[in-house]
């Protein structure tokens, strides 16, 4: 049982692939393991996946596995001398001539970029270090003016600011990786390069219910269609590193808060990612600014925070997880954290499920509830309960191991796989047993139970019952 409500996502890689270390990372606080398909072979990822499932079997705790697809990689061609120096104010040409470039031009093997350009659009190279503005363009070329110059090496990445590219978010590599991951049995799929809701529809069709879908928000175009994109996915990742390349970095913090607020309103989990404890790649302790960055994400209501290179290739993966776990615990003990969560509480929708879950939140404020128990098959009841941010932790009982694993990502949720139940009396009795077994409740403690009747039907949340552990559980008492 975690002594916190926000969750930790950690990326596995060369620095964190042994059974001993993966087990240690889980014990230190990792709730979701990320497999980054931008790096590593299928065999690498298979081995890591099998170790995660072994840890899950040994500990009896559901663990989520997140497959992160690479997405399209747009890169320039090569230079005769390997690199060039671009001077601010100079003219620089991009074209489709597959020839080595020089200080005046370079091959850009992406006709789809040229088709989307117009004067004023900006091209960013090498993670935004080089910035150019389009002055003139056609179907096979673009003349640009260097805004920010510097040394440009060959094969560097290209980002387009101010245009939506006519590209699918799924490359042929992504499709092969997705098929492989779904065969393995991953729980979440993160889709890169999302620009519009339609990108998610394509991925959703391919996944066909075999995993939950997460949209990575790393493009300004996606932020402009934020609400439709959130509606089209199951969760969101705020990929701040890429956002900070394609827009002024000072704009990223308010956009992060806007995304978190919109996800809370929709009842969708949101992960804040990228460079959270970056210095811990090489140092055993983070900077004070990084600690504040993680804390801010928790104060703002993130369901989860993520480690990337810190745990995948850094020198101190275990220490990074322990530090993130400690930061979350300290923040959640701050009275201002609970007040902020309460102040940001979204209005319930006019549904029976939200009426029940809003009442659950009120009950947790009025009564000394030790835990709120949800019984769910699809995860719907638990997600709506988590949206309310109740003061007590959420013990999510589900007969579906798939649902339990997906819920490992969600704020405040302690998922447990249980047998199916048939009626209210049985669910109350079973909830009492599980709450006691999992360490949430003792005889005489008060807890709440919410579920949907008839059982097993998604979206039917309509039951709230207050229970005192150890009292009779007949249908005539307290529901």
pLDDT of 314 > 80? The answer is yes
DSSP codes joined into one string, 349-394: PSSHHHHHHHHHHHHHHHS-EEEEEEE-SSSHHHHHHHHT--SS-E
Residues carrying CATH 3.20.20.60, the chain: 7-71+170-334
Of the residues 4, 7, 61, 216, only one is catalytic, namely 216
Q: What is the pLDDT of residue 459?
A: 64
- Residue 67 to residues 9, 174, 201, 362: CA-CA distances in angstroms? 12, 11, 17, 37
Tokens of 372: 């709120």
Q: How far is CA 298 from the centre of its chain?
A: 14
Per-chain mean pLDDT for the chain? 94
Please tell me whether residue 157 adopts helix, strand or coil conformation: strand
Please name every residue paired with 146 in a beta bridge, in sequence order, or none if there are none. 132
The CATH H-level (homologous superfamily) assignment of domain 83-161 is PK beta-barrel domain-like (2.40.33.10)
- Sign for the CA dihedral angle at 469, 407, 409, 221 comes to negative
As a whole number of angstroms, the distance between CA 97 and CA 111 comes to 11
Residues carrying CATH 2.40.33.10, the chain: 83-161
SS3 content of the chain, % helix, strand, coil (to 5): 40, 25, 35
Please tell me whether residue 213 adopts helix, strand or coil conformation: strand
As a whole number of angstroms, the distance between CA 290 and CA 353 comes to 38
Higher model confidence: residue 124 or residue 423? Answer: 124
As a whole number of angstroms, the distance between CA 323 and CA 330 comes to 11
- Which of 7, 17, 78 has the alpha carbon at shortest distance from 43? 17
Which long-range CB contacts under 8 A does 42-48 form with residues at least 24 apart? 42/177, 42/180, 44/17, 45/180, 45/181, 45/184, 46/184, 47/17, 48/12, 48/17, 48/22
pLDDT tens digits, residue range 2-43? Answer: 999 999 999 999 999 999 999 999 999 999 999 999 999 999
Q: Are 286 and 251 in contact (CB under 8 A)?
A: no
Of the residues 274, 381, 382, 403, only one is catalytic, namely 274
Q: Are 179 and 201 in contact (CB under 8 A)?
A: no
Query: What spatial distance separates the first Cα and last Cα of the chain, rounded to whole Å?
Result: 28
User: What architecture is the 7-71+170-334 domain classified under in CATH?
Assistant: Alpha-Beta Barrel (3.20)
**75 backbone dihedrals φ, ψ, rounded to 5°:** -140, 150
pLDDT tens digits, residue range 413-457? Answer: 999 999 998 888 888 999 999 999 999 999 999 999 998 777 667
Q: How many CA atoms lie within 13 A of 428 on its CB side?
A: 23
- Residue 468 binned pLDDT confidence (cut-offs 50, 70, 90): very high
Alpha helices in 104-171 (DSSP H): 111-116
Q: What is the mean pLDDT of residues 104-108?
A: 97
- Residue 121 to residues 22, 107, 113, 127, 142: CA-CA distances in angstroms? 44, 18, 11, 17, 11
Of the residues 75, 93, 133, 145, only one is catalytic, namely 75
Q: What is the mean pLDDT of residues 113-127?
A: 95
Of the residues 7, 34, 105, 219, only one is catalytic, namely 34
Cis ω for the linkage preceding 454 (within 30 of 0): yes
75 is annotated as an active-site residue:
yes
- Which of 36, 114, 43 has the alpha carbon at shortest distance from 68? 36
- Residue 44 to residues 14, 21, 51, 408: CA-CA distances in angstroms? 9, 15, 11, 23
Task: Name every residue whose Cβ is closer than 8 Å to that of residue 27 and which is 6 or more positions away in sequence.
Answer: none
pLDDT tens digits, residue range 335-383? Answer: 999 888 887 888 888 898 889 989 988 998 899 999 999 999 999 999 9
274 is annotated as an active-site residue:
yes
- Residue 160 to residues 115, 126, 353: CA-CA distances in angstroms? 12, 12, 43
pLDDT tens digits, residue range 231-264? Answer: 999 999 999 988 888 888 899 999 999 999 999 9
Q: Are 311 and 324 in contact (CB under 8 A)?
A: no
Strand pairing report for 105-107 and 188-191: unpaired
The CATH H-level (homologous superfamily) assignment of domain 352-468 is Pyruvate kinase, C-terminal domain (3.40.1380.20)
- Residue 474 binned pLDDT confidence (cut-offs 50, 70, 90): low
Task: Name every residue whose Cβ is closer than 8 Å to that of residue 335 and which is 6 or more positions away in sequence.
Answer: none
Tokens of 209: 């219910």
As a whole number of angstroms, the distance between CA 470 and CA 397 comes to 19
pLDDT of 471 > 90? The answer is no
As a whole number of angstroms, the distance between CA 107 and CA 154 comes to 10
- Which of 313, 307, 270, 314 has the alpha carbon at shortest distance from 290? 307
């Amino acid at each position: 049982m975690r002594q916190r409500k926000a969750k930790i996502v950690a990326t596995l890689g060369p620095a964190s692939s042994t059974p001993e270390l993966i087990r240690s990372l889980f014990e230190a606080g990792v709730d979701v393991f990320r497999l980054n398909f931008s790096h590593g072979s299928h065999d690498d990822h298979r081995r890591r996946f099998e170790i995660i499932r072994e840890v899950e079997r040994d500990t009896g705790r559901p663990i989520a596995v997140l497959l992160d697809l690479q997405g399209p990689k747009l890169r320039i061609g090569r230079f005769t001398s390997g690199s060039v120096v671009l001077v601010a104010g100079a003219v620089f040409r991009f074209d489709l001539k597959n020839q080595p470039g020089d200080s005046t031009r370079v091959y850009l093997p992406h006709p789809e970029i040229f088709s989307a350009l117009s004067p004023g659009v900006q091209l960013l190279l090498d993670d935004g270090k080089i910035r150019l503005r389009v002055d003139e363009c056609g179907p096979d070329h673009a003349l640009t003016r260097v805004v920010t110059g510097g040394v440009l090496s060959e094969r560097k990445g290209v980002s387009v600011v101010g245009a939506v590219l006519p590209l699918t978010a799924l490359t042929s590599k992504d499709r092969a990786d997705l098929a492989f991951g779904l065969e393995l049995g991953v729980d979440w799929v993160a889709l890169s390069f999302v620009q519009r809701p339609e990108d998610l529809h394509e991925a959703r069709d391919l996944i066909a219910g075999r995993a939950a879908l997460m949209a990575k928000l790393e493009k300004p175009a996606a932020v402009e269609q934020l609400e439709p994109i959130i509606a089209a996915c199951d969760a969101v990742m705020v990929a701040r590193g890429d956002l900070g390349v394609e827009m002024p970095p000072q704009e990223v913090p308010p956009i992060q808060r806007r995304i978190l607020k919109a996800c809370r309103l929709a009842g969708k989990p949101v992960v804040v990612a990228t460079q959270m404890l970056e210095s811990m790649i090489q140092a055993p302790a983070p900077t004070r600014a990084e600690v504040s960055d993680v804390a801010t994400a928790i104060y703002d209501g993130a369901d989860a925070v993520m480690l990337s290179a810190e745990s995948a290739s850094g020198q101190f993966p275990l220490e990074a997880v322990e530090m993130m776990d400690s930061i979350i615990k300290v923040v959640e003990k701050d009275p201002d954290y609970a007040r902020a969560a309460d102040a940001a509480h979204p209005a319930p929708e006019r549904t029976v499920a939200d009426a029940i879950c809003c009442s659950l939140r009120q009950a947790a404020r009025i009564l000394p509830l030790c835990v709120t128990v949800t019984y769910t098959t699809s995860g719907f009841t638990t997600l709506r309960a988590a949206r309310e941010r109740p003061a007590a932790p959420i013990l999510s009982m589900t007969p579906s191991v798939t649902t339990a694993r997906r819920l490992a990502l969600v704020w405040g949720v302690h998922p447990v796989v249980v047998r199916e139940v048939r009626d209210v009396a049985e669910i109350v009795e079973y909830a009492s047993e599980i709450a006691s077994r999992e360490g949430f409740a003792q005889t005489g403690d008060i807890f709440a139970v919410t579920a949907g009747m008839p059982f097993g039907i998604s979206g039917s949340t309509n039951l709230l019952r207050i229970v005192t552990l150890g009292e009779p559980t007949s249908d005539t008492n307290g529901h």
